[in-house]
Amino acid sequence: AQSVAQPEDQVNVAEGNPLTVKCTYSVSGNPYLFWYVQYPNRGLQFLLKYITGDNLVKGSYGFEAEFNKSQTSFHLKKPSALVSDSALYFCAVRAVYNTDKLIFGTGTRLQVFP
Amino acid sequence: KAGVTQTPRYLIKTRGQQVTLSCSPISGHRSVSWYQQTPGQGLQFLFEYFSETQRNKGNFPGRFSGRQFSNSRSEMNVSTLELGDSALYLCASSPGPLTGELFFGEGSRLTVL
């Protein structure tokens, strides 16, 4: 069965420093991986996806993610964090081929301090 | 282009009542999915509909049901509400399966007293 794991409940980083939010996955077949962000009392916003192609995926708001097949990881990164990046981040994997069903990780709360 | 619209945004019910939540997808999107978000269980998949057909169903009791109309709008219903049904219910739409990302609405926050 498809699954994703986000090993960190919270990540703290100072503004201007690089940030990494970790995600590992377990899939059968080719992985379809996604990152979403959720601000307080809001729905989820799409950041980026990996379906095929380059291992470095660039997304919204300056975020990028690196797909690593050998380590089964899909870590979210940003070179310079902003206070406004503080939010809840979810990694997700498509559960079943040819559907939209996603399996989400437990989420990582990112706190960026001024 | 208008986003995914969910109504109502907030509602309070008591145990034993039923509730209907509505979702209007982005114009042209034919696939609608529903998720339940709670602090303890995280984001859990409820249903997926495409062209009025339920394609997938999550591991929820039969009290949870849904449907999709010919205009792609979707509703979900929860009958005989329990305290544990208190959650943020999120609807998401996409043009169709395998097209990529889902577009989420703001959610309907249900509180069961």
pLDDT at B98 over 90: no
- Three-state secondary structure call for residue A60: helix
Structure tokens at B14: 């008591």
pLDDT-based confidence at residue B64 (cuts at 50, 70, 90): very high
Averaged pLDDT score across all residues of chain A: 92
Establish if A101 touches chain B: CB-CB under 8 angstroms.
yes
Strands A73-78 and A19-21: antiparallel
Q: Which residue is closest to B100 within chain A, CA to CA?
A: A49
**Residues of B with Cβ-Cβ distance to A34 under 8 angstroms:** 101
Tell me the pLDDT tens digit for each residue of A26-80.
988 888 899 999 998 888 999 999 988 889 999 999 999 999 999 999 999 999 9
Averaged pLDDT score across all residues of chain B: 93
Asked if residue B63 lies in contact with residue B79, where contact means CB atoms within 8 angstroms, the answer is yes
Rounded-to-integer distance, Cα B87 and Cα B110, Å: 5
Interchain contact, A100 vs B48, CB within 8 Å = yes
Nearest-5° Cα angle at B29, A53 to B21: 120
Q: What is the model's pLDDT at position A39?
A: 92
**Residues of A with Cβ-Cβ distance to B33 under 8 angstroms:** 100-102
Site from A42, A57, A100 to mutate, B interface, most B CB atoms within 10 angstroms:
A100
Residue A49's nearest CA partner among A63, A61, A33, A60 is A33
